[in-house]
Structure 1
Amino acid sequence: MFRQALLGQPSPLVAALLLFHRKERRRKDTGLPHWRREKHPYYDLTVKILRARNIKGTDLLSKADCYVELRLPTASPITYRTRVIDNSSDPEWNETFHFKIHNAVKNTMELALFDEDVLISDELASVVFDVTGLKAGHPLKESFKLKEDDEELDVEFFLKKSADAPGEVITNGALVAYPCLSLQGVIKNDEMSNLREQGSNQFKISVPGAYEKQVCIPCKPESDQNCAVPFVFHIGKEMCSQLSVELERTITVQDGVSHDVEEHSTVLRSGTVPFHSLPLGKEIDLTVPLGKELSVDLRVKAEQITGDLDIRLGFDLCKEEQGFLEKRKNVVSQALKKTLKLREDPDKDEVPVVAVLGSGGGIRALTSFYGSLLGLQQLNLLDCITYLAGISGTTWCMSMLYQDSEWSCKDLRGAVINARDKISSSKVAGFSSERLKYYFQELSAMENAGRKVSFTDLWGLIVEYFLQQKVDQSKLSDQQNAVKRAQNPYPIYAAVNVRPNISGDDFAEWCEFTPFEVGFRKYGAFVRTEDFDSEFFMGRLIKKHPEPRICYLQGIWGSAFAASLDDVFLKVIGSGLTFLESLGDVVRVIDDCRRFHFRDPMRLKTRMVIPGGLLLQIFQDFFKSRVTAGETFNFMQGLYLHKDYVSLKKFVTWKGTHLDAFPNQLTPMEETLYLVDGGFSINSPFPLMLQPERDVDVILSFNYSWEAPFEVLELTQKYCKEREIPFPQINVSKEDEENPKECYVFMDAENPKTPIILHFPLVNDTFCTYKAPGVERESEEEKAFGDFEVEAKDSPYRTLNFTFEPHEFNRLVELSCYNVLNNKDAILDALRLALNRRRLKSRT
């Protein structure tokens, strides 16, 4: 029995074809598919902190002791600050700061006003000011409104064009890659004996803004004076920084009672050398004065790294995926001819792109997805599918299937039986002393190799045992063999990048994992799958780590334990801890949009941020932090946002409080990615399939969520609306919310860019009565097998249950398979409509 909620006119096929013919437009609008080189001028920016007025400090017994901090991280790694004006409500500084900025990037100044106390400085308010729109040669004085209407901060900006020649960058319109410099050097120990003093001495060498934080080099004894100790730093060519050398003395003190050993370090001498004073491509001897007639001799060489970037910047599909699509069209064309009983194979341009999406839901999702795919295979539809995308538990099913490079060409019942044996077995041995020892040996080896290790990695090893009950040495890149002839659908595994203390509903960036690439379509940044979790800076591979085994990715994809307490409340009682929102920072737009210099459409509005306070922030972090979130090296570190990134619909900059409107806080500025289960955002990988580059015509959405059968569609609709992505209107009756059917069809007959969505909630609608489409259950045993409720209170299919009895596994597989078979007509109708849309498009 086919049941659907059909949006549009009574005869959708005819109506859609007519409208498509009249309103045909190009479907593929990728914006900026490739990276390009751009030249932009430099500017000298002068910022003068004038005064503040009517400032109310945090100390009730006295007036504020104010100072201002300035940050412009796209120009300088240093945070500058004014002097402190004691006990004044109207402090006046008149201090000037200078920056050299490059016009290719989004230069956003942060001005923070502090009240200095005895123990800690309290941030009163901060202003985020986009310098885009400042006119060169025209001074601009701004009075920024702060916490109260009468509190103001006066700042004067002056921009002038630099005498330096324009600088070239590589960009895809969202991100900018500066030229990267490598500084290699050694300390010459000829005069080391003059520097040794009592205690254990060492040098600390640093370059603010460089990838390498700090290098500690011990002073050698006289016998090692001729040994040169090397160091290396990577930094952007445009970054105004300096080479800093400190001579430090460390004294070890032992407590006579407790025998505890403590080390106390003191900086004896220090000196700096401006980085821009170092010639490029030439090895030189350098003497760094340390004060009081002491110095240290260095031999250094700064050179620019040449050659192509080690990450791919662009919004198009990688060449391997494009090659797969060309091959897969032949497979799909032949399958459509057979399935739809066509006279001839459709041309390549007529072949619709069909994607199958599986939601999260732990072992319930894994089991159900096997059943859904089995149903598609029995309808001879597996070869009609181009993409297979999963999230959470569905990715576990996919990763098991793709171990066999010919899985979709074989009878899936063999894979189902193998999975049943694993899922129905006891998991107790996964926590034996021998197994725990193996876990911690693996994690220790990762940590010793310089990798970031978190609870998610331990969870990945546990999942490995649950799914395989053995060590699985396979890697995601091994699955390239499964698609090299386009013999299987193209697999896409989903995760989201979050912030440890921000709800996934407020900020989540979708990350896709494929056999060839890992990356973010939001930023148009990708790395080879073999290079994932290696260390990158400014688009350059700095340190190569081995590709992680797939079990560690399974831990990321299905990291249910990365939930915050706020997430737990949201899932358990249906609402988050809303009172926490009042404890966070307050963000207000304070632009006067009528002013002439604010009319640049690429300029971000000025925002004022009032911190929630230290105690309240601690309270908020406690409830919202994800202490178990997986950490991995951020391959976008060192890249900057393009000055026009706000024009890309992938960014939600129009929302005043959204993180997208704060470029200095976005992911490229972070050292670490926090990748977690995509279910913390949308429990289905729709955002990865709705990218225009993939040009998907039909989506089969299998929802295995516990309760909330339409939530993924409603969240996806909101996601698409914010980014102007075509998506059909989701209107579901209250009756369907309470008693969902097997299949729903959503489409937009007026917009052929909108994919056709077939949504399958996990329900026992007619399966309880029919053992096959049109075949009723007769015996008591057959009726008992089909008479169950998936979401019953005593259901074995709860998300945190990782073991099913064999009959429970079989029943869920057969239910999911039946629901597909029973809606054969709906699926075939959608394929016919998509095929005819493509035909009309190719003929106009």
Structure 2
Amino acid sequence: MFRQVLLSRLPPRMLPLVAAVLLERKERKETGFYHWRREKHPYYNLTVKILRARNIKGTDFLSKADCFVELRLPTASPLTYRTRVIDNSSDPEWNETFQYRIHNAVKNILELTLFDEDVLMSDELTSVVFDVTGMKPGHRLKHTFKLKEDKEELDVEFFLEKSTNAPGEVITNGALVAYPCLCLQGVINKDEKSTVREQGSSHFKLSLPGAYEKQLCIPCKSDSDQGCGIPFVFHVGQEMCAELDIELEQTITVLQDGVSPDFEKHSTVLGSGIVPLQSLPLGKEVDMAVSLGKGLSVDLHVKAEQIAKDLDVRLGFDLCKEEREFLDQRKEIVSRALKKTLKLREDLSKDEVPVIAVLGSGGGMRALTSFYGSLFGLQQLNLLDGITYVSGISGSTWCMSMLYQDSEWSCKDLRGSISNARDKMSSSKVGAFSSERLKYYFQELNAMENAGRKVSFTDLWGLIVEYFLQQKEDQSKLSDQQEAVKRGQNPYPIYAAVNVRPNVSGDDFAEWCEFTPYEVGFRKYGAFVKTENFDSEFFMGRLIKKHPEPRICYLQGMWGSAFAASLDDVFLKVVGSGLSFLESLGDVVKVIDDCRRFHFRDPMRLKTRLVIPGGPLIQIFQDFFKSRVTAGETFNFMQGLYLHRDYVSLNKFVVWKGTHLDAFPNMLTPVEENLYLVDGGFSINSPFPVVVHPERDVDVILSFNYSWEAPFEVLELTQRYCKEREIPFPQIILKKEDEENPKECYMFMDAENPKAPIVLHFPLVNDTFHKYKAPGLERESEEEKSFGDFVIEEKDSPYRTLNFTFESQDFDKLVELSSYNVVNNKDAVFKALNLALSRRKQKRR
């Protein structure tokens, strides 16, 4: 009605414009791009003149520095430029000028690095980063960079002027920017008139700086052939003004001493040429002869065209269409469940239904087992249908992935699922390291690598987890779990991991990545891909090469990759006293470096292992593990996207900390080729960051902590995480006795800020369970007392983190304890839900 009244009052000339805006919104809603927009920004020509440096001290104490400066501006050019070297001078002067064309939509950060040239390797003396954003066009800016406290300085002159090029359009969500992408396709043929008389094989090397594809090598056929006729493809940003470089190279094999089987290969560049992409008409096929010099040339048949299809990466901070559809269906189920359980008099409207999230922490099989118990406790309170989200990391994800194999799991009595899990947990795990199983592992890994996937020890660990959990091959994938949520019949699962950087502690830099049945992505960047496309190759927001979706066991290995750091210990714990197995394994696994210098929480601290087994597995092991490092990697689906010029205004980035990587856009994830996804426990040992963001509008968080120690650490770390990003979260205030002797349940809330979730936190403790077999019902017989009288964290506890096999009774104890702790705190749970209902109703008013 309001829209109709508004339209009726608009002048006729405005109606077409309004209709176009409404149509655009409708189109965005249908495609799922809710927060992206098209923006046009001007181009500018940036001139950088490196003038001089003063008081420079080199690394050689016997002489003065031999200085040069490198310039890097990756948002404008893929190339690194450098000045000439000024020999033996403390005050080098260059007066060299460099030109860039920059686009005003992105955060243009120029890096200037001062080097002291050496014969073997140039030493980096210092580096500065300069934000071009604040410069005024038409004004010359001379800036002196203070390099060190002892009066070392670098003088640079900048000049920015508006380009004559028309403004360029980009797609952006305010954090990331997607440029238009060009696809260059062609066929290269050697000119019939030119011959290569030298003996040996010749080939063409093709490279396009800034393109997704690396250097391509195309072998030439014999001179009698018409040419190579082999196609090539490059993908590159339209903004890069790139040039296709073509080299004709000849390789000659020389035998040593004429008879020795040893040989050397010598390569010689016979000629080279370039093809500027700007010289090619877009969308048209072109035949051309490219001179390589020295009487050589090649015939090219090429076509450059802009990729017109929509982005394959969803740019937006809102929930995806499928998750919002799930919420609409789930709210009806939650409304009925809460009305019945809380004995409400009236039905809840959709706006009044609170969003409740259940979180499971890490902790290996202890977490898996306990999470079963916690969920069973919620079912006993008739609250499982009142839950909207279930999220976990590490061992809790193993529990979730087993449950979601049944598309109706929460609608059934969980005792059946728990009994099945007991059988798996209490069975021997030694078979995971049998020769037949090892052969299966490496055949699987070799097949993955041959298919173009990046493979690491984390994937090996995933196959081991598959055996631990299933004792058989599990062909299921994460996207299969769409069946479990398409009618809203179960809570929505969110699996969490963190993206880290090599040689940077997870405490200092970790970006949370969420995995759901429909999408995988980073809410920090507002970038998501369809789950079935995870681990495929993307560039500039476009799908370049589709790989099969990985089986869920590989995700399980990555979600719980903290254990991959201790594979030797896992073997020892699983095999037990079977030292002969470890001795034979010693012939298989060789540690070839020492990782003690790395930070304990650094996920890249794994040792490099060289695998050379004996027996029939030798070739498989050698082929797969030779010279392989242990870092887990996957293709970065954000590669080729840039940070928006105003990304610093988003509270999802911690840029106010000058040393945080968020303040260095040239070092952030979009510029990386790979993601390094690891166990979320390397950052916060509970998946709070994936549910506290306002997009999910969570009212109540039931946090289950299964860590061996520090029962409140996840709350304190989450509080800091939220404070840094201005996310509402209650203040965590604890007494000393709580730290020393934690109770079963704690409630935290911010009475003055209804946007902050109410947090119910359940440490894994045996507080009253040892005395009561049910709330208010004491244990009487000696058997009952013995069942409940145990200490979870004692030295010889069966629940140690590296223990992957529980006795049936130990499994039952932990499940019943976790369930009891929920049921015994029914009043606290119901109080939190009623408070959430009250808040929702106040919001509606």
Would you say 1:404 and 2:406 are equivalent positions? yes
Aligned to 2:205: 204
1-structure distance, mates of 2:381, 2:88: 80
Residue 486 of structure 2: aligned partner: 484
1:365 to 355, 364, 367: 367
Q: CA deviation at 1:500?
A: 1.7
For 2:338, the equivalent position in structure 1 comes to: 336
Structural mapping, 1:759-774, within 5 Å: 759-774=761-776
Which residue matches 1:225? 226
1:97 deviates by 0.3
Does the CA contact (< 8 Å) of 2:220 and 2:228 recur in 1? no
Post-superposition shift, 1:259? Answer: 3.8
Match of 2:635 in 1: 633
Match of 1:795 among 784, 794, 797: 797
Matches of residues 186-265 of structure 1 in structure 2 within 5 Å?
Answer: 186-191=187-192, 194-195=195-196, 197-255=198-256, 259-265=261-267
Partner of 2:55: 54
Q: What CA distance in whole angstroms lies between the structure 2 residues aligned with 1:227 and 1:139?
A: 52
Following TM superposition, by how much is the alpha carbon of 1:620 offset from its aligned partner in structure 2, in angstroms?
6.2
Amino acid in structure 2 at the alignment position of 1:200? S
* Residues in 1 aligned to 2:564 and 2:150: alpha-carbon distance in whole angstroms: 41
Is this contact kept in 2: 1:376–1:382, CA < 8 A? yes
- The aligned runs of 1:564-603 (5 Å cut-off) are none
Using a 3 Å threshold, how does the CA distance of structure 1 residues 411 and 741 change in structure 2: closer, same or farther? Answer: same
* Compared CA separation, residues 155 and 563, structure 1 to 2 (3 A): farther
Specify which structure has the bigger relative contact order, considering alpha-carbon pairs within 8 angstroms and separated by 6 or more residues.
1
Which residue is equivalent to 2:760? 758
| Aligned-partner Cα distance in 2 for 1:147–1:623 | 32
Q: List per-residue Cα deviations over 1:76-97 (Å, max 9, x = no partner).
A: 0000000000000000000000
Alpha carbons of structure 1 residues 699 and 747: separation in structure 2 relative to 1, 3 Å: same
Structure 1 residue 191: deviation in Å? 2.4
Would the aligned equivalents of 2:461 and 2:564 in 1 still touch at CA under 8 Å? Answer: no
Aligned residue for 2:134, secondary structure, equals coil
Cα distance in structure 2, aligned partners of 1:619 and 1:342: 59
- Whether contact under 8 Å (2:194, 2:297) holds in the other structure is no
Shift of 1:262: 4.1
Q: 2-side partners of 1:542 and 1:670: how far apart?
A: 16
2:449 pairs with 444, 447, 467, which one?
447
* Contact 2:175/2:643 (8 A) holds in 1: yes
1:360-439 matches, within 5 Å, as 360-439=362-441
DSSP 3-state at the match of 1:735: helix
Judged with a 3 Å threshold, the aligned counterparts in structure 2 of structure 1 residues 228 and 729 are, in CA distance, closer, same or farther, namely same
Question: Does residue 319 of structure 2 align to residue 320 of structure 1?
Answer: no
Task: Confirm whether residue 145 of structure 1 aligns to residue 185 of structure 2.
Answer: no
Shift, 1:188, TM fit: 2.0
- Residue 119 of structure 2 aligns with an amino acid whose one-letter code is V
Give the AA of the match of 2:672: E
Deviation, 1:193, is 5.1
The Cα shift of 1:149 comes to 3.5
Letter in 1 for 2:51: L
Instruction: State the distance in 1 between where 2:498 and 2:193 align.
Output: 51
- Partner letter of residue 287 of structure 1? A
Cα distance change, pair 833–93 in 1 and its aligned pair in 2 (3 A): same
**AA at the equivalent of 1:825:** D
Deviates more, 1:725-734 or 1:275-284: 275-284
Closer/same/farther in 2, CA of residues 729 and 805 from structure 1, 3 Å limit? same
Contact 1:69–1:81 at 8 Å: present in 2 too? yes
* CA deviation vs aligned residue, 1:530-582 (integer Å, no higher than 9, x gap): 100000000000000011000000011110145599xxxxxxxxxxxxxxxxx
- Quick one: distance in 2 between partners of 1:749 and 1:33? 32
Cα 1:564/1:667, change in 2 over 3 Å: farther
Distance (whole Å) between structure 2 residues aligned to residue 476 and residue 221 of structure 1: 50
1:798-817 to 2 correspondence within 5 Å?
798-817=800-819
How far apart in 1 are the matches of 2:647 and 2:249? 44
Which position in structure 1 is the counterpart of 2:538? 536
Alpha-carbon deviation of 1:508? 0.3
Q: Is the 8 A contact 2:210 2:240 kept in 1?
A: yes
Separation (CA, whole Å) in 1 of partners of 2:649 and 2:132: 17
SS of 1:132's equivalent?
helix
User: 2:282 is paired with a residue of what secondary structure?
Assistant: coil
Q: CA deviation at 1:618?
A: 12
* Secondary structure, counterpart of 1:67 in structure 2: strand
Match of 1:283 among 273, 285, 296: 285
- 1:459 equivalent among 454, 457, 461: 461
The answer to whether the 8 A contact 2:194-2:296 is kept is no
Who is 1:661 aligned against?
Answer: 663
CA distance in 1, matches of 2:727, 2:828: 24
* Contact residue 137 and residue 162 of structure 2 kept, 8 A: yes
Residue identity matched to 1:682? I
CA deviation vs aligned residue, 1:690-738 (integer Å, no higher than 9, x gap): 0101000000000001100000000000101110110111111111101
Contact 1:339 1:380 survives alignment (8 Å)? yes
* Cα distance change, pair 411–509 in 1 and its aligned pair in 2 (3 A): same
Confirm whether residue 38 of structure 1 aligns to residue 39 of structure 2: yes
2:735 is matched with 733
Q: Assess if the C-alpha contact under 8 Å between 1:562 and 1:629 holds in 2.
A: no
Change (3 A) 1:681 1:620: closer
Q: Deviations over 1:721-758 (max 9, x none)?
A: 11011011111111110100000000000000000000
Displacement of 1:221: 1.0
- The one-character-per-residue Cα deviations of 1:430-455 (angstroms, maximum 9, x if unpaired) are 11111011000100001101110111
Question: Partner amino acid for 1:802?
Answer: F
CA gap of 1:686–1:621, structure 2 versus 1, over 3 A, is closer
Distance 1:699 1:687 in 2: 12
Superposition deviation, residue 254 in structure 1: 4.5
- Residue type of the alignment partner of 2:304: A
CA distance in 1, matches of 2:339, 2:286: 71
Q: CA deviation at 1:261?
A: 4.3
Gaps of 5+ in 1: 1-31, 566-616
Residues 175-233 of structure 1: CA deviation (Å, up to 9, x unaligned) = 00000000011112342751453221111001010000011001111343255111000
1:578-727 matches, within 5 Å, as 625-627=604-606, 628-727=630-729
Structure 2 CA distance for partners of 1:633 and 1:649, relative to 1, 3 Å: same
Structure 2 Cα separation of the partners of residues 375 and 91 of structure 1: 73
Q: Is the Cα contact below 8 Å between 1:336 and 1:342 reproduced in 2?
A: yes
1:19 alignment partner in structure 2: none
Contact 2:497 2:680 in 1 (8 A): yes
Report the TM-score when normalising by structure 2. 0.88
CA distance in 2, matches of 1:381, 1:86: 76
Would the aligned equivalents of 2:203 and 2:220 in 1 still touch at CA under 8 Å?
A: yes
1:337-363 CA distance string (max 9 Å, x none): 100011222111100000000000000
* CA gap 1:622/1:365 in 2 versus in 1, 3 angstroms: closer
Correspondence for 2:136? 135
SS in 1 for 2:212: coil
Aligned to 2:27: none
User: Partners in 2 of 1:366 and 1:731 — Cα distance?
Assistant: 29
- State the partner residue of 1:68: 69
**Number of equivalent positions:** 763
2:442 aligns to what SS in structure 1?
Answer: helix
Identity %: 81
Moved more, 623-632 or 768-777: 623-632
Q: Are the structure 2 counterparts of residues 60 and 744 from structure 1 closer, same or farther at C-alpha, using a change threshold of 3 Å? A: same
Q: Give 5+ residue unaligned stretches, structure 2.
A: 1-32, 568-594, 607-629
Contact 1:629 1:675 in 2 (8 A): no
What SS is found at the alignment partner of 1:194? coil
Instruction: Measure the CA separation in 2 of the matches of 1:477 and 1:196.
Output: 57
Q: Is the 8 A contact 2:142 2:155 kept in 1?
A: yes
Cα distance in 1 for residues equivalent to 2:566 and 2:473: 30
2:517 to 497, 515, 523: 515
Return 291-300 or 758-767, whichever deviates more: 291-300
